[in-house]
Amino acid sequence: MTVTSNIKLVQKRFKKMSVKIGKSKSILGRAHVRAINRATATGRKAAVKDLSASSKIPQKALKRAVRFQRRDKAHKRKKDTTVFYHYAPVPARRLGKTITQTKRGAKVGRFKSFPGSFKGRMRRSGKQAIWRRVGKTRLPIEEVKVDLGKTTVPKVRGTLDKVVPKEYRKRMLHETSRELKKVFKRGRL
């Protein structure tokens, strides 16, 4: 086989591949969708980590506060994502595994005790929780919760604004090269 025949063969393959690349306009679209979803997920993890460090609440308990639901992910038609930050109070039972009763009140894991509270089982689920009496009478009682407050919203937003663009650039390069590799792999004879 001569050099010219090799060049012609490569040119034929290149033409076929360029036609495939021209036909599949969705290469960059798919790469963008995958990159934005992964970058947002990484930003969510970073936000939970920062919030956990500042509030001294375990990350496991805060994962429900910073949500990234399936319907809010990017897809073909919707090219952006939504991250929800739900700053409702976290139940004290989610702060650790073991609940112990002390003279002053109930204590969760390695955290401080909650004065005037007691441990008890939840009626429906049977799980232990920390309760506090509302008045001086025996009933009603309410579950003890740790308030995150609205002051944490700027912290979460700042973390997301800082992490997501950097991660998006990195992911976009990776995903476009991945999609192009798939096209070239299919284009070989």
pLDDT tens for 4-46 read 344 345 445 545 555 555 555 577 788 888 888 898 889 889 9
Domain ranges of the chain: 20-88+150-187, 92-146
Does 188 score more than 60 pLDDT? no
Q: Is the peptide bond before 140 cis (omega within 30 degrees of 0)?
A: yes
What tens digit of pLDDT does each residue of 38-56 get?
988 898 899 899 988 888 8
